Structure 1
Amino acid sequence: MKIYITSVFVDDQQKALEFYTEKLGFEKKNDVPLGESRWLTVISKEDENSIELLLEPSSHPAVSPFKKALSADGIPAASFSVEDLDKEHQRLETLGVNFVQAPSSFGDVKLAVFDDTCGNLIQLVQLP
Structure 2
Amino acid sequence: MTTSTTSIILPAQCSSYTTNSDSTRRIAYTSSSACDSSLFGTTGTWVRFVSPAGTTMPTSAPSIYACGTDAPGWYNGAYPSTAGSTTTGTVCYNWAGYTCNWSNSIQITHCSTFYVFKLINTPVCNLGYCTV
TM-score, with length taken from structure 1: 0.30
Please state which structure has a larger fraction of its residues in strand: 1
Higher Cα Rg, which structure: 2
TM-score, with length taken from structure 2: 0.29
Structure scoring higher RCO (CA < 8 A, sep ≥ 6) equals 2
